[in-house]
Structure 1
Amino acid sequence: MSTSPSPDVIVCPGGPLLLRGEHVIADEDGVEHVTERPVSALCRCGKSASRPWCDGTHKVLPEKDRP
């Protein structure tokens, strides 16, 4: 019996996408960003000051505006 590996992408309800391992992310301008951390958080609310990365801004948004 084999165990399946951890997922590479995890959706956090109301929050970011968590990326495990190395990924290349293209932002809205087409600029590519390589993940350099074991786990990186990708913004889904569109309000982060450090897009494409999550800075926690979703936590202060009204619930109706969260992803």
Structure 2
Amino acid sequence: MADPGPTRVLLTDEGPALISGPVELELPDGTRVRSDRAVTAVCHCRRSKRYPICDASHRRKVRQEGPDA
């Protein structure tokens, strides 16, 4: 069997971490969440109602406009 290589994790600037392949995530309280998707979006902002899986809640963030805007 061929070595599948390392798991790929893409860290995005203002969104989730994207993990290639099936993944099992373990939360600080010991809870485990499994995703069998080809790519899983993992929430970093903790706004997701499906945490630790991203539901794009970070997009609803209200941006503060400064005096130069």
TM-score (norm 1): 0.74
Q: How does 1:1-67 map to 2 (within 5 A)?
A: 8-63=8-63
Q: Over aligned residue pairs, what C-alpha RMSD do you find?
A: 2.1
2: CA distance between counterparts of 1:37 and 1:56? 16
Question: Does the 8 Å contact 2:22/2:35 carry over to 1?
Answer: yes
Residue 44 of structure 1 and its aligned partner are, at CA, apart by 0.4
Unmatched segments (≥5 aa) in structure 2: 65-69
Deviations 1:9-62 (CA, angstroms, capped at 9, x unpaired): 001111000010122211242211222000010000011000010000101114
Unmatched segments (≥5 aa) in structure 1: none
Distance 1:8 1:63, change over 3 A: farther
The runs of 4+ residues in structure 1 deviating greater than 3 Å are none
Q: How many residues align?
A: 60
1: CA distance between counterparts of 2:39 and 2:49? 19
Q: Comparing both chains, which one has the higher relative contact order based on Cα–Cα distances under 8 Å and sequence gaps of 6 or more? A: 1
Larger radius of gyration between Structure 1 and Structure 2:
2
TM-score (norm 2): 0.72
